[in-house]
Structure 1
Amino acid sequence: MSVGVAGQAIVLFAVTNIDDIMILALFFAHGAGRRHHTRTIAAGQYLGFAGILVVAVAAASGAALLPERMLPYLGLLPLALGVKAGVQAWRSRGRAGEDEQARPATGILDVAAVTFANGGDNIGVYVPVFATAGAAAVTVYVLVFLVLVGVWVAAGRFFAGRAPVARTLSRWGHVVLPVVLIALGLLILSGAW
């Protein structure tokens, strides 16, 4: 069971955090040459993501108070987020590169704030998943997510120096995220039928 849950956690983390790789790459590019910037960015990323997990676990615990037959309807949240992300991607087509002009500050609290603020979609997806999983599965999700934050930081640092890879992620990440969120929402909702 935990191997299957760990695999699900890896996929869930990857699709809900694909945009974070680009943000981390921007942080690394902006902080290049600064002393201890890797540690600062990593600490900020962990702090921000810990905030996301605290909110998601707390909200899922509250959702666990709902009658069991209502839990599948929590799938409406990632479904709505997927539709919203798809609409935003559709509306912003042709404006590629505008976000690349932004140069974020790279202090621990700056990185944490951006990570947390960018985590609304994560929370919206994690709550129904955590609410329908048992405590043991949630523990596996959280542990896998925390390991993957480190992987994401390393990937962000790697991509900061590789423009072609960063451009590809920037070009297709906005397409993959809505599709996966909608599929996840439909999968959770299927328990209601």
Structure 2
Amino acid sequence: MVGQAIGLFAVTNIDDILILSLFFARGAGHPGSARRIVIGQYLGFAAILAVAVTAAFGATFLPESVIPYLGLLPLALGLKAAWQAWKQHGDEDDEQEAAGDGPASLEVAAVTFANGGDNIGVYVPVFATAGVGGMSVYAVVFLVLVGVWCFAGRYFATRPIVAKALGRWGHILLPLVLIAIGLLILIEGGAFGL
């Protein structure tokens, strides 16, 4: 069952490594930003687990029709980041000030939760058939792997060639990735009749 949990987590969260790398690159040089990113990732993923476990027991606080609208979170955060990047275009000193202390925990949590909205649909039937013991194994393995994912994201963001590219293009990449994720969630879920 541990192998199945690892495989399920990896398949449903592979895109998070890119997002985490972008967040870690954005927080580079800001004391405490790595901690805030990890906390945010755990908060967002814990929310995904809570919804999936609750739904596996037959209760849902998010009707299925609402899940596509979670795409509005990364879309809004991406548009905000794009606006900040555009305002700071060409002025590196102001850009450093605008970056503040790097990503906030709640910002990371919101993106993680919104990006994992589709994971809930995969986790619920697996959890429902796994029973309480199996669900516990999945939850523990998933929470351990969130830490591994955070480590991998930070690792990639700190590789010299990747760090240089993210340092140069991260202010453009992060908004684009967040906007793309938001639009993808909205479109694939049929939000607003898309």
1:19-78 deviations in whole A, cap 9, x for unaligned?
000000000011110001111100000001000000000011107xxxxxxxxxxxxx9x
Q: What does residue 50 of structure 2 align with?
A: 54
Find the aligned partners of 1:31 and 1:38 in 2 and give their Cα distance: 7
1:35-74 map, 5 Å: 35-62=31-58
Q: Does 1:144 align with 2:158?
A: no
Q: Do residues 116 (structure 1) and 78 (structure 2) align?
A: no
CA RMSD of aligned residues (A): 2.8
1:133 maps to which residue?
Answer: 130
Residues matched between the structures, number = 129
User: Which letter does structure 1 place at the counterpart of 2:36?
Assistant: T
Residue 33 (str. 1) matches residue 29 (str. 2) = yes
Quote the offset at 1:128 in angstroms.
0.9
Shift of 1:134: 1.4
CA–CA distance in structure 1, aligned partners of residues 125 and 18 of structure 2: 26
Deviation at 1:122, TM superposition (A): 1.1
Q: 2:92 maps to what in 1?
A: none
Other-structure match for 2:152:
155
Scaled by the length of structure 1, the TM-score of the pair is 0.61
- Measured after TM superposition, the shift of residue 160 of structure 1 is 1.1
- Structure 1 residue 161: Cα displacement: 2.9
